[in-house]
């Protein structure tokens, strides 16, 4: 299993890259094992963005819409917030891994989102296997010599074919 480790920017927005650490291992000629680590700072950035979106619409008794304290929103909507952040981080990181590392997947990654633990603190880590198109070198096709067989069609063959066609599909009208 070979490993390749890189820091990869992921585009959440075109102007703000997401820094992730990616390790790509070869399982076989058509399968790769990928490990991804998303730093805590990136999780916090996504959390702030999601909190900003949620806080504009959340309604909690005793507070005006859009003026609910962040800590209260975090406490009340912890599960929903974590699921949204996790989903967006996974989607953005998968897209960028595919683009930056020239991975041409054949199908969906073997990734179970429910089994990925959202950390209370620290980095978000996940791994998955994915089937990819095999890479191989094609031989120089210009060096191949082909023999083309040619066949001259005779009047006899044309007549025989027309006779068979007429007897099969034709009707005798008197």
The 3-class SS string of the chain reads CCEEEEEEEEEEECCEEEEEEEEEEEEECCEEEEEEEECHHHHHHHHHHHHHHHHCCCCCCCCCCCCCCHHHHHHHCHHHHHHHHHHHHHHHHHHHHHHHCCCCECCCCECCHHHCCCCCCCCEEEEEEEEECCCCCCCCHHHCCCCCCCCCCCHHHHHHHHHHHHHHHCCCCC
Looking at residue 15, its pLDDT comes to: 54
In a domain, 22, yes or no: yes
Looking at residue 113, its pLDDT comes to: 82
In a domain, 174, yes or no: no
Q: Supply the range of the domain harboring residue 91.
A: 3-131
Looking at residue 8, its pLDDT comes to: 47
Looking at residue 160, its pLDDT comes to: 96
In a domain, 162, yes or no: no
Q: How does pLDDT run across 119-143, given as a tens digit for each residue?
A: 988 999 999 999 998 878 888 888 8
In a domain, 13, yes or no: yes
In a domain, 94, yes or no: yes
Number of domains in the chain: 1
Identify the CATH number of the domain in which residue 25 sits.
3.30.70.1050
In a domain, 149, yes or no: no
Residue numbers in the chain where pLDDT is lower than 70: 1-17
Looking at residue 124, its pLDDT comes to: 93
In a domain, 38, yes or no: yes
In a domain, 24, yes or no: yes
């Amino acid at each position: 299993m070979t490993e390749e480790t890189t820091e990869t920017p992921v585009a959440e927005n075109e102007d703000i890259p997401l820094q992730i650490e990616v390790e790509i291992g070869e399982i076989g000629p058509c399968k790769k094992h990928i490990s991804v680590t998303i730093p805590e700072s990136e999780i916090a950035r996504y959390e702030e963005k999601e909190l900003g979106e949620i806080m504009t619409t959340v309604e909690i008794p005793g507070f005006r819409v859009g003026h609910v304290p962040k800590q209260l929103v975090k406490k009340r909507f912890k599960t929903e917030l974590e699921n949204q952040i996790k989903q967006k981080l996974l989607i953005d990181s998968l897209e960028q891994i595919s683009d930056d590392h020239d991975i041409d997947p054949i199908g969906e990654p073997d990734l179970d989102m429910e089994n990925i633990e959202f950390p209370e603190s620290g980095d978000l880590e996940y791994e998955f296997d994915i089937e990819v198109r095999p890479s191989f070198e094609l031989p120089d096709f210009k060096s191949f010599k082909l023999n083309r067989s040619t066949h001259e069609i005779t009047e006899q063959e044309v007549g025989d074919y027309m006779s068979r066609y007429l007897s099969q599909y034709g009707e005798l009208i008197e």
